[in-house]
C-alpha cells in the first residue's frame, strides 16, 4: 500500500513519462521520418476492461499529443475463442471513450496471406522448419535457461521438404496438432522465447472473418510484429509480460527483412478488489455470477458505462495513474474518486427518497400543491434551475427521523424543526404507528413564511432534509452495488479459486424508491446526483412503466479521506 502513489503524475503534468521521453527523442532525431504511429491491438476474445482503457488512453493519447495516428487493430489470430460480438463491443467501447481511428480499423486476419508468404521466405532462408513433435515432446526437449535444448529431430529437414510440408499443412492434409512450423533460432539462448518457437500451428477451425480458408494459424509473436510492420507502426506499446519477447519480435522482423517498429513495454494496470483477466471475467459471465459483461459490478468498460462512470472520468483516471515501468496495484478508491470528481461537475442534482417515511403537513391546505425552484447543479450555473412539486404529503428518508433522538441528531425528531431543501421549515408534531409499533407516518406543521427554505426571522435550523412529493413522483427501482470481491487481491491465494472471494452482498435492490418527477423520461445512462445520497444513473432496463437507477458511487470519498 505504501507505494501505491509512486507512479501518480497528475500533480506534475509538465513531466514526460518514459514513453513520451523516448518519442520526443526519436522526433528530435528524425527517426521514422518523424512520424508517430501507435495502435491498440485487442484480441476479440472478450469485452474490454479498465486495463484496456489505460492502454487505449495511452496509445490514442500519444498519437493525439504528437500529431500522429493510432490504429484500432483486432488481433484475431486465434479462431476458436473469438466472436463478432466481441468485435462490436470493442468498437463501441473505444468510440465511447472518445477516440477516433479514422479509416484505420484493421484485422490481423487481413494479413494472413502476407504472413504466409513471409513464412515461406523464412523457410527458404533456412530460418524455419516443419516439426512433427507434439506439444509435450517439444517441451520435454526444451531445456531450461541454463540447460540447452535438445534439437528437434526434424530441425535439419531440407528446405525443399519444409516447403512441401508447409504447403501441405496449409492445404489441410494434416490433423490438428500433428505439425508446427518453427523458427530455427537457438538451442541454448537463456531467453526461452528464442528456443525455436512455433510460428504456425494447425487448427481446423472456422474463423469469424476468413471462414474456412485457413487451417493453419500464426502464433502471437510471429503475427504481432508483422501486423505492426505492415501498418508502419512506429512505437509498439505493450505490457511488461512481453519484455522477454522483444528479442523475438526483433528477430522475426529483421529476418523477414521488413520494417521494424520499436517495441516498448509498460506496466499493466492492476486495481485492488478487481480481477482483470478476460478468462476470469468470462467465467463470471458464463457461470451467471454476474448478469453479463456489462453488469455494473464488472470492471469492463461496458459495465462501468452502465454503472454511470463517464468517459471523461476514465480518461482522467488513466492520466492520473500515469505510465510506469514496474507493476503496481492502484487502489480502486482512486478510480471512484475520479468518477466522483467528474460527476460532481456534470451530474444534475435531484431529490430521491430511498427508504420512504410519509409526512403529512397538517396546516398545508388539502388538495393544494405548488412548484418550488431548485438549483440543478451548484457547480455549474449554466445547468439552471427546475421546478419541483410540493404538497401536503411528502416522503422523507426514514433515517432522517428518530423518535428518541440524542441532542446531536440534527435531523427530524418530535418537537424539532428542520428545513426541507428548497421548500419550508417543518416541525414534527406527532407520530403515527401501526399495531406492531412501527412508525408509519409523521404529522408535521410548516412555516408558510419559510418558503424556499429561507428563515423568516433569523431563527436557525440545524438540519436540511431531502424529500419527494408523495403524489407527483416516480416510483423507481434502485440497484445498489458493493465491491464484487471481499478481498483486495482476489488472485493472491493460488490455492483458492478467485470466485470464492465474491462478495455475496455486491448487489442489493430497492424495489420502490421515490424520485422527483423531473427525471421522468430520462434516457438510459443519464447522470444524477441524488442529493445527500450519491451519484445515480438511469439503467438500460429503465422503462416508462418503471424507472431503474444504478448507484454509481456514494458521496463519501474514501480516497481523499485516506489523506491522499
**Active site residue ranges:** 43, 268, 278
Q: What grid cell was written down for 453?
A: 427554505
For 188-195, the CB contacts below 8 A with 24+ separation are 188/143, 188/148, 188/149, 190/145, 190/146, 191/145, 191/244, 191/247, 191/248, 192/142, 192/144, 192/145, 192/244, 193/221, 193/244, 193/245, 193/247, 193/248, 194/247, 194/248, 194/251, 195/142, 195/143, 195/149
Beta partners for 372?
Answer: 388
Dist CA 512 CA 473 (whole Å)? 12
Are 547 and 562 in contact by the 8 Å Cβ rule? The answer is no
- 354 lines the binding site for ligand ATP (CB under 6 A): no
| DSSP code of residue 132 | -
Residues in binding contact with ligand ATP, number by CB under 6 A: 14
Smallest gap, in angstroms, from Cβ of residue 412 to ligand ATP? 48
42 vs 517 by CB, closer to ligand ATP = 42
User: Which listed residue (38, 42, 169, 170) binds ligand ATP by CB under 6 A?
Assistant: 42
- 268 lines the binding site for ligand ATP (CB under 6 A): yes
Smallest gap, in angstroms, from Cβ of residue 94 to ligand ATP? 11
CB-based contacts of 110, cutoff 8 Å, min separation 6: 209
Per CB under 6 A, contacts with ligand ATP among 224-243 are: 238-239
Smallest gap, in angstroms, from Cβ of residue 246 to ligand ATP? 13
- 55 lines the binding site for ligand ATP (CB under 6 A): yes
User: Which listed residue (26, 38, 41, 515) binds ligand ATP by CB under 6 A?
Assistant: 41
- 73 lines the binding site for ligand ATP (CB under 6 A): no
227 vs 336 by CB, closer to ligand ATP = 227
Smallest gap, in angstroms, from Cβ of residue 507 to ligand ATP? 23
End-to-end Cα spacing for the chain: 12
Q: What grid cell was written down for 390?
A: 410540493
Q: What grid cell was written down for 533?
A: 445520497
Smallest gap, in angstroms, from Cβ of residue 476 to ligand ATP? 35
Are 342 and 316 in contact by the 8 Å Cβ rule? The answer is yes
Are 331 and 4 in contact by the 8 Å Cβ rule? The answer is yes
269 vs 519 by CB, closer to ligand ATP = 269
Dist CA 311 CA 316 (whole Å)? 8
User: Which listed residue (36, 70, 233, 269) binds ligand ATP by CB under 6 A?
Assistant: 269
Smallest gap, in angstroms, from Cβ of residue 271 to ligand ATP? 8
User: Which listed residue (19, 36, 54, 87) binds ligand ATP by CB under 6 A?
Assistant: 54
User: Which listed residue (51, 197, 322, 534) binds ligand ATP by CB under 6 A?
Assistant: 51
- 389 lines the binding site for ligand ATP (CB under 6 A): no
- 277 lines the binding site for ligand ATP (CB under 6 A): yes
For 386-389, the CB contacts below 8 A with 24+ separation are 386/518, 388/351, 388/422, 388/469, 388/516, 388/517, 388/518, 389/469, 389/471, 389/472, 389/516, 389/517
- 278 lines the binding site for ligand ATP (CB under 6 A): yes
* Rg of the chain on CA atoms, in Å: 31
| Residue facing ligand ATP at closest CB distance | 51
User: Which listed residue (43, 161, 164, 441) binds ligand ATP by CB under 6 A?
Assistant: 43
123 vs 237 by CB, closer to ligand ATP = 237
Nearest residue to 38 (alpha-carbon basis) of 3, 4, 10, 69: 69
- 534 lines the binding site for ligand ATP (CB under 6 A): no
Smallest gap, in angstroms, from Cβ of residue 270 to ligand ATP? 7
185 vs 285 by CB, closer to ligand ATP = 285
Smallest gap, in angstroms, from Cβ of residue 306 to ligand ATP? 19
Dist CA 406 CA 413 (whole Å)? 9
Dist CA 363 CA 188 (whole Å)? 92
Binding span for ligand ATP by CB under 6 A among 36-44, 154-162, 358-366, 511-519:
36-44
- 548 lines the binding site for ligand ATP (CB under 6 A): no
Q: Which residues bind ligand ATP (CB under 6 A)?
A: 41-43, 51-52, 54-55, 238-239, 268-269, 276-278
Amino acid at each position: 500500500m505504501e507505494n501505491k502513489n509512486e507512479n501518480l503524475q497528475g500533480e506534475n503534468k509538465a513531466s514526460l513519462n518514459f514513453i513520451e521521453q523516448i518519442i520526443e527523442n526519436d522526433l528530435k532525431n528524425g527517426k521514422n521520418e518523424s512520424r508517430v504511429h501507435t495502435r491498440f491491438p485487442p484480441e476479440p476474445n472478450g469485452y474490454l476492461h479498465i486495463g484496456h482503457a489505460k492502454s487505449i488512453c495511452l496509445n490514442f493519447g500519444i498519437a493525439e499529443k504528437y500529431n500522429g495516428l493510432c490504429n484500432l487493430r483486432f488481433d484475431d489470430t486465434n479462431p476458436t475463442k473469438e466472436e463478432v460480438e466481441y468485435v462490436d463491443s470493442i468498437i463501441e467501447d473505444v468510440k465511447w471513450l472518445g477516440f477516433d481511428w479514422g479509416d484505420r480499423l484493421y484485422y490481423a486476419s487481413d494479413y494472413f496471406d502476407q504472413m504466409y508468404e513471409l513464412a515461406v521466405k523464412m523457410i527458404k532462408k533456412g530460418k524455419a522448419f516443419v516439426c512433427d513433435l507434439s506439444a509435450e515432446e517439444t517441451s520435454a526437449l526444451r531445456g531450461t535457461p541454463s540447460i540447452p535444448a535438445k534439437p528437434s529431430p526434424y530441425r535439419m529437414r531440407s528446405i525443399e521438404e519444409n516447403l512441401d510440408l508447409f504447403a501441405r499443412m496449409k492445404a489441410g492434409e494434416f490433423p490438428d496438432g500433428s505439425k508446427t512450423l518453427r523458427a530455427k533460432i537457438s538451442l541454448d539462448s537463456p531467453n526461452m522465447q528464442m528456443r525455436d518457437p512455433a510460428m504456425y500451428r494447425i487448427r481446423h477451425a472456422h474463423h469469424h472473418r476468413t471462414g474456412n480458408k485457413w487451417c493453419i494459424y500464426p502464433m502471437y509473436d510471429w503475427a504481432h510484429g508483422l501486423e505492426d510492420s505492415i501498418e508502419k507502426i512506429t512505437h509498439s506499446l505493450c505490457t511488461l509480460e512481453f519484455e522477454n519477447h522483444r528479442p523475438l519480435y526483433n528477430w522475426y522482423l529483421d529476418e523477414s527483412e521488413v520494417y521494424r517498429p520499436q517495441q516498448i513495454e509498460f506496466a499493466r494496470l492492476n486495481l485492488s478488489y478487481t480481477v482483470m483477466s478476460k478468462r476470469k471475467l468470462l467465467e463470471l459471465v458464463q457461470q451467471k455470477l454476474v448478469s453479463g459483461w456489462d453488469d455494473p459490478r464488472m470492471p469492463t468498460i461496458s459495465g462501468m458505462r452502465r454503472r454511470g462512470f463517464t468517459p471523461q472520468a476514465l480518461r482522467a483516471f488513466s492520466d492520473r495513474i500515469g505510465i510506469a515501468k514496474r507493476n503496481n496495484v492502484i487502489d480502486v478508491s482512486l478510480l471512484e474518486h475520479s468518477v466522483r470528481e467528474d460527476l460532481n461537475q456534470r451530474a444534475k442534482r435531484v431529490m430521491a427518497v430511498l427508504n420512504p417515511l410519509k409526512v403529512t403537513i397538517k396546516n398545508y391546505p388539502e388538495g393544494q400543491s405548488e412548484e418550488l425552484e431548485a438549483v440543478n447543479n451548484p457547480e455549474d450555473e449554466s445547468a439552471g434551475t427546475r421546478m419541483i412539486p410540493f404538497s401536503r404529503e411528502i416522503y422523507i428518508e426514514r433515517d432522517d427521523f428518530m423518535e428518541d433522538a440524542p441532542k446531536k441528531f440534527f435531523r427530524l425528531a418530535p418537537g424539532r424543526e428542520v428545513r426541507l431543501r428548497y421548500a419550508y421549515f417543518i416541525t414534527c408534531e406527532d407520530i403515527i404507528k401501526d399495531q406492531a409499533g412501527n412508525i408509519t407516518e409523521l404529522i408535521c406543521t410548516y412555516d408558510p413564511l419559510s418558503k424556499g427554505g429561507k428563515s423568516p426571522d433569523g431563527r436557525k435550523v440545524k438540519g436540511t432534509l431531502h424529500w419527494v412529493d408523495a403524489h407527483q413522483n416516480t416510483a423507481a427501482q434502485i440497484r445498489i452495488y458493493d465491491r464484487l470481491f471481499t478481498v483486495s487481491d482476489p488472485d493472491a491465494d493460488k490455492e483458492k479459486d478467485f470466485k470464492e472471494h465474491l462478495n455475496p452482498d455486491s448487489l442489493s435492490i430497492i424495489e420502490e424508491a421515490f424520485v422527483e418527477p423531473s427525471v421522468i423520461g430520462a434516457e438510459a445512462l443519464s447522470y444524477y446526483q441524488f442529493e445527500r445520497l450519491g451519484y445515480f444513473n438511469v439503467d438500460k432496463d429503465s422503462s416508462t412503466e418503471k424507472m431503474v437507477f444504478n448507484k454509481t458511487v456514494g458521496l463519501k470519498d474514501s480516497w481523499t479521506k485516506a489523506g491522499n
